[in-house]
Amino acid sequence: MSTVPITKFGAELLKEELQRLKSKERPAVINAIAEARAQGDLSENAEYDAAKERQSFIEGRIAELEGKLSAAQIIDPKLLDAEGRVVFASTVCLEDLETGQKVKYQIVGEDEADLKESKISITSPIARALIGKYAGDVVEVNAPSGIREYEILEVLYI
């Protein structure tokens, strides 16, 4: 199985979710199934069906999280030494050369990407254009709105 890069913070979030599912959600749904089973006829028991469906979802999510964590290559951006180059987990300050707007993005794994938190996926067009570049470089990004040019102002490992 190939490894999937994930930041240290992203891995911690997945571990927290996994712990919550195993320690709180799983026991709660087992109790709900037991209570519904105690009500008698299971063929027409909506509570039982809903609890079984919830259990299926929880078990699937647990398996998914365990699989992701076992295949994860955890990268701590603070420990990177990429000599100023844009790499996975680095934070990049950019300036849109057309509008002059400045933005800051951290390049993260697909599961961690959240534009509201300025975290972009390694597979996004802008991240693919930035990887391997240095501060001062100008990159062309083939965005859905057309080709955009950005200047890399700073590369941070935070």
At which of 75, 93, 108 does a domain end? 75
Virtual CA dihedral for 5, 95, 134, 77, nearest 10 degrees? -30
Per-residue confidence (pLDDT) for residue 142, from 0 to 100: 87
In the chain, DSSP finds a helix count (H) and a strand count (E) of: 4, 7
What domain count does the chain have?
2
Host domain of residue 17? 4-75
Per-residue confidence (pLDDT) for residue 19, from 0 to 100: 97
Kindly state whether residues 55 and 98 are assigned to the same domain.
no
At which of 47, 75, 103 does a domain end? 75
What is the distance between the alpha carbons of residues 50 and 136, in angstroms, rounded to a whole number? 56
Kindly state whether residues 51 and 111 are assigned to the same domain.
no
Q: In the chain, how long is the greatest CA-to-CA distance? A: 71
CATH number at residue 130: 3.10.50.30
pLDDT band at 1 (very low <50, low <70, confident <90, very high): low
Kindly state whether residues 9 and 65 are assigned to the same domain.
yes
Per-residue confidence (pLDDT) for residue 82, from 0 to 100: 83
Kindly state whether residues 68 and 87 are assigned to the same domain.
no
Q: Per residue in 109-136, pLDDT tens?
A: 988 999 999 999 999 999 999 999 999 9
What average pLDDT does the structure give for the chain? 91
Q: Per residue in 15-71, pLDDT tens?
A: 999 999 999 999 999 999 998 888 877 777 888 889 999 999 999 999 999 999 999
CA 113 vs CA 26, 30, 52, 58, 76: distances in Å: 27, 33, 31, 22, 16
Q: What is the pTM of this model?
A: 0.81
Kindly state whether residues 66 and 82 are assigned to the same domain.
no
pLDDT band at 14 (very low <50, low <70, confident <90, very high): very high
Q: Per residue in 54-63, pLDDT tens?
A: 999 999 999 9
What is the distance between the alpha carbons of residues 48 and 33, in angstroms, rounded to a whole number? 6
